[in-house]
Chain A
């Protein structure tokens, strides 16, 4: 639309990954153990979500409350 700023210059910034993924992966080493940092982050996220699911309260439906 005339007069409006085109969003194409902003969109890549908004949707771009926080970490530059266009390069070889970074690996963590500990003895014979070797794993990419990306996989470690995913495993860490799973642990956090698992712990949050146990710790956070779940809203209960009270008696007489409409479904």
Chain B
């Protein structure tokens, strides 16, 4: 029950107050952005999010039908292709987004966690995609697995991450790594909302226009 004054408040009220202080509604869902956002270079983040949505949607359908479905049905093959090309676009846009933010020094102004969460998302997305190659259920995935095991074993993590174990790799691909990627993306977007998009670098070094 919500109380006022000096009476102790419930943990739900404390969590709510902390959340609203950290992320006021007008900052969480803004209706205006700074003028310097009027550039195509700011669009790659949302294109990455759009690609991720298609990846998750097509991935859920493929997971519901099972890993062999795409081998023997045209519809399955279609969704497998949608899934593959959405991943291609996801990495395409994400790498350009990373380039743009790197050259903008997007960690300025207290945005270090925003930059770090984006960079870590990229690193986690790589094994997420690689385990997809291992989940194809064909000779290609067998070839990749037998080649990858030597590389993985040379790093010492082969005991925990066995690329020859289809069940383990499939679980990593459809559940564990996607959950981590989505959680990181949510945190990244919330940090962007909290701190705002990074302004352009100072133009102090440019020659001043003549009067």
A residues bordering B, Cβ < 8 Å? 42, 45-46, 49-50, 52-54, 56, 58-60
Contact = CB atoms under 8 A, between A and B. Distances in A.
A53 B92 contact: no
B43 interface: yes
Given A50-B99, A53-B100, A58 B92 contact: no
Contact of B40 (A45, A46, A58, A60): A58
Interface string B31-50: 00001001111011000000
Contacts of B198: none
A49 B39 contact: no
A54 B38 contact: no
Contacts of B100: 50, 53
Interface residues on B, range: 10 to 19
Interface of B: 35, 38-41, 43-44, 88, 92, 95-96, 99-100
Most buried by B among A46, A50, A60: A50
Contacts of A58: 38-40
A46 B41 CA distance: 12
Which has the most chain A C-beta neighbours within 10 Å: B38, B39, B41, B43? Answer: B41
Contacts of B92: 42, 45-46, 49
Chain A CB within 10 A, most for which of B35, B40, B44: B40
A63 B149 CA distance: 60
B31 to A, nearest CB: 9
A48 to B, nearest CB: 10
